[in-house]
Structures are given as C-alpha cells and as structure tokens.
C-alpha cells in the first residue's frame, strides 16, 4: 500500500464535514469500484456502463445542480469528487464532467421547465446518459467557426453537420448539440443555439473513435447529423450565442482544476511507495538526495494545485469566480500533473512503463485533458487577454 500524502498539508482542516463526506464517498467508489478494474478496462478500451447508475445513486451526477433529483452540493464538494475519481482514472472524471458539468448543466441553465423535467432526474440517477456536442472535425479551439446548422421547416428543426471528440455519444440517450441557425432574414440567422437531440432520432450517428492511446477506458465519438428532424421545442430557450456553451465549459474546466490533481496525487503516491520499497546500491532509492528532491517538488506542486483549486472553489461558492481564474487553474493543474506523471515515471524506472503502476496511464490520459476544454495555449491567451486587455485570438 502506497503511503498517503493527504496528511502532509492538513487540507482536511480547510474542509467542512459535508465536504469530507463527499470526498470519502468518492474515494471509496474510486478505490473499490474503479481501481480494481481500470488497468484491464484501459487495455480493453472498455467503459463500464454499469457503474453509471452507481455513480448516480451516490449523487455524483450533476451534484452541484439543485432540484430535479440533483444533490445541490457546493463547488468544493464537487471538486473533491472530481479529484478522487481522477485519482483512479481521468476517463471517469471525464464522464462525470460530461454528464454533470456539460450536458446536465446546459439543460439546467438554459432549458425550459419541460426540458428539465424530461431529462434531468433520469440523468442525475444515472438512468440516462447525456453528451455535449460542440467541437467539430476541423478543430476544437474555435467553436465560432462551427458549420453544423439547424434550419426551421414548418414546426420542426432540421439539424445537419458533424462533430468530433464527443464523449459518451455512442452510449448517450440525449445530445446537447450546438448549431448555427440557418434562417435567412431571421433574428437568429448565424447565431449559435443549443438543441436537445434524443440520440434515437433518425439521422443521428455516433461512431467511437478508435486508435486512442489515451482515455481508453472512456468513449469519444465522431457524430454526424443528416437531416435530423426535431420537434419545434427542441431548442434550449435560455442560450443564445457562444456564451451558452462557454458557460458550461466554465463548469467542466473548474472540475478539471481539481481532477488533474487527483491524477497527480496518484502518480506521486506510486513514486513515493516505490522509492521506499525499491533498493538500489544497497538502500532504498528514496534515501538518495536526487529522488527526494523530485518527490519534494512533486509534493509542492500537488499541494499548491489543490490549494489553488480550493481557492477557486470558495470563489465559485461566493459567485465570484471568473473565466480567467478558471483558466489559471486549468492550465496549472494539468501542466503540473503531466510534469508530476513524467517525474514519477522516471523514479519508477523501467517498471514505470508497465501497467503494474498507474503512472503511464495517467500520463497518457492527461495528454487528452491538456487538450480538451481549452488547450494550454487557449488558456494562456485567455489569461493574457485578462492581463493586457488585448485579445490575441
């Protein structure tokens, strides 16, 4: 059993009883239900659908939302759950993000009462899966360039286009689809709006992307819409323009600020355990100054990252968190988690490239986390814009 590093900074003293209870529930789920099977699932490219209901029963799905069967938990509690899930595997934190922060959050923020009643309780319970279709094949950083359209035909909407890298789409019951309205002369012509698309609708096709060397225990898809006909009330009434999807991305990016530190902690725990148990030159490798320096630097970054996440969480609970602050957190957490994964791999030496340890899996997963929900570069430019008042986009 690897040593735990939580105690070093006494983070628990900064958390409420309720937050600790959420953290412990998520840690148990991650350690008992995900950790024992994750290496095989990663190898087999298998997403364990049956755990979705369990995650729902534990209250993790849309847990920061209120009403409609959602737990109404605070931002810090949600962050702690993300951290514990990602300590097991980024794919599971990604699932909770896509379901809760993206799909459910879009419906909760922008949906009509009927849309909320129709979808949210089942999604919170893990009976229904949602996905969030924003990114298109030509590139994810510039969603303003999307070409997917929704045009009005009589009482119906007709959606045509393609999306890529859409998490869970082939398993989903409903897709939140962002499309430009094609209505020459209308007020909404060319404006991005959100639509709720039941995935059983003819013309909706989701194809899992194969050949991934990252996030292998979760599913990302190419999605096509060929004349997908929707009822006239399929549009989310409360979202108009890109601020709609960006409002949801804020939520998901916030979860990553915490989650990536879970992957980092797991890597540090592996390296620390090994540095004590493995002997070279007649003593544990952890007795060497160079190894201790690496471990110390890793610990410093994990603790700083978690404290930053906690600060952002408290800001969010006060309604004071800005997108640029989220960018600081997402950029820092994922960048440092990747560095920690690479250092941990070095400490583990040859064994570090095997699945005896979770480190290479975390490192591979974090390459995806670094790219989705805004690349490092997008977040650097968001921060640069906040600093200078000048947009580099």
Q: Which residues carry out catalysis?
A: 373
Smallest distance from ligand TGC to CB 247, Å: 5
Tell me how many degrees the CA angle 280-281-286 measures, rounded to the nearest 5: 50
Distances (CA, A) of 276 to 159, 269, 362: 58, 11, 21
Q: Out of 105, 135, 148, 275, which residue is the one contacting ligand TGC (CB under 6 A)?
A: 135
- Nearer to ligand TGC by Cβ, of 134 and 234: the residue is 134
- Nearer to ligand TGC by Cβ, of 145 and 300: the residue is 145
- Nearer to ligand TGC by Cβ, of 158 and 175: the residue is 175
Smallest distance from ligand TGC to CB 328, Å: 13
Smallest distance from ligand TGC to CB 93, Å: 11
Smallest distance from ligand TGC to CB 268, Å: 26
- Nearer to ligand TGC by Cβ, of 243 and 289: the residue is 243
Stretch that binds ligand TGC, among 112-120, 183-191, 264-272, 372-380 (CB under 6 A): 372-380
Stretch that binds ligand TGC, among 7-15, 104-112, 256-264, 367-375 (CB under 6 A): 367-375
Site for ligand TGC in 227-256 (CB under 6 A): 241-243, 246-247, 249-250
Residues with Cβ within 8 Å of 379's Cβ and at least 6 positions away in sequence, in order, are: 327, 328, 330, 331
Based on the shown chain and the rule CB under 6 A, indicate whether residue 372 belongs to the binding site for ligand TGC: yes
* End-to-end CA separation in angstroms for the chain: 48
Smallest distance from ligand TGC to CB 222, Å: 12
Smallest distance from ligand TGC to CB 202, Å: 23
The number of CA neighbours under 13 Å toward the Cβ of 279 is 3
Q: Out of 34, 87, 134, 285, which residue is the one contacting ligand TGC (CB under 6 A)?
A: 134
Residue from 55, 28, 23 nearest 123 by CA = 55
Residue from 288, 248, 290, 295 nearest 270 by CA = 295
Stretch that binds ligand TGC, among 139-147, 280-288, 292-300, 336-344 (CB under 6 A): 139-147
Residue from 273, 278, 241, 263 nearest 337 by CA = 263
Based on the shown chain and the rule CB under 6 A, indicate whether residue 105 belongs to the binding site for ligand TGC: no
Stretch that binds ligand TGC, among 152-160, 173-181, 279-287, 369-377 (CB under 6 A): 369-377
Based on the shown chain and the rule CB under 6 A, indicate whether residue 132 belongs to the binding site for ligand TGC: yes
Stretch that binds ligand TGC, among 9-17, 22-30, 137-145, 171-179 (CB under 6 A): 137-145
- The contact pattern for ligand TGC, residues 257-296, with x = CB under 6 A and - = no contact, is ----------------------------------------
Q: Pairing mode, if any, of strands 149-153 and 156-167?
A: antiparallel
- Nearer to ligand TGC by Cβ, of 135 and 270: the residue is 135
Return the residue nearest ligand TGC (CB atom): 167
- Nearer to ligand TGC by Cβ, of 23 and 335: the residue is 335
Based on the shown chain and the rule CB under 6 A, indicate whether residue 380 belongs to the binding site for ligand TGC: no
Smallest distance from ligand TGC to CB 206, Å: 11
Based on the shown chain and the rule CB under 6 A, indicate whether residue 166 belongs to the binding site for ligand TGC: yes
Binding site for ligand TGC (CB under 6 A): 94, 98, 132, 134-135, 140-144, 166-167, 220, 241-243, 246-247, 249-250, 323, 372-374, 378, 382, 393
């Amino acid at each position: 059993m690897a040593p735990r590093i939580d105690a070093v900074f006494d983070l628990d003293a900064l958390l409420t009883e309720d937050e600790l209870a959420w953290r412990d529930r998520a840690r148990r789920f991650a350690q008992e239900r995900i950790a024992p099977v994750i290496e095989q699932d990663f190898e087999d490219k298998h997403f364990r659908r049956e755990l979705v209901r369990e995650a729902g029963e534990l209250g993790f799905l849309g847990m920061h939302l209120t009403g409609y069967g959602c737990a109404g938990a605070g931002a810090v509690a949600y962050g702690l759950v993300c951290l514990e899930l990602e300590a097991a595997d980024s794919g599971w934190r990604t699932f909770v993000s896509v379901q809760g922060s993206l799909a459910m959050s879009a419906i909760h923020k922008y949906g009509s009462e009927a849309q909320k009643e129709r979808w949210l309780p089942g999604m919170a319970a893990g009976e229904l899966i949602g996905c969030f279709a924003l990114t298109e094949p030509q590139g994810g950083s510039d969603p303003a360039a999307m070409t997917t359209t929704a045009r009005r035909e009589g009482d119906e909407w007709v959606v045509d286009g393609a999306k890529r890298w859409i998490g869970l789409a082939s398993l989903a019951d409903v897709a939140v689809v962002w499309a430009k309205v094609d209505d020459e002369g209308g007020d909404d012509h060319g404006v991005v709006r959100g639509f709720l698309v039941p995935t059983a609708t003819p013309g909706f096709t989701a194809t899992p992307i194969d050949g991934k060397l990252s996030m292998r225990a979760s599913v990302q898809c190419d999605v096509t819409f060929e004349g997908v006909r929707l009822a006239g009330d399929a549009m989310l009434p409360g979202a108009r323009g890109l601020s709609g999807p960006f409002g949801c991305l804020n939520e998901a990016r916030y979860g990553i600020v915490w989650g990536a530190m879970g992957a980092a902690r797991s890597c540090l725990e592996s390296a620390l355990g090994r540095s004590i148990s493995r002997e070279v030159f007649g003593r544990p490798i952890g007795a060497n100054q160079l190894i201790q320096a690496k471990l110390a630097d890793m610990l410093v970054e994990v603790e700083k990252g978690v404290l930053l996440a906690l600060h952002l969480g408290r800001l969010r609970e006060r309604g004071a968190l800005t997108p640029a602050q989220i960018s600081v957190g997402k950029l820092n957490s994922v960048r440092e988690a990747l560095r920690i994964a690479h250092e941990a791999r070095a400490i583990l030496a040859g064994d570090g490239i095997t699945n005896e340890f979770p480190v290479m899996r975390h490192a591979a997963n974090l390459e995806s986390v670094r790219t989705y929900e805004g690349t490092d570069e997008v977040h650097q430019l968001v921060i640069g814009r906040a600093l200078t008042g000048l947009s580099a986009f």
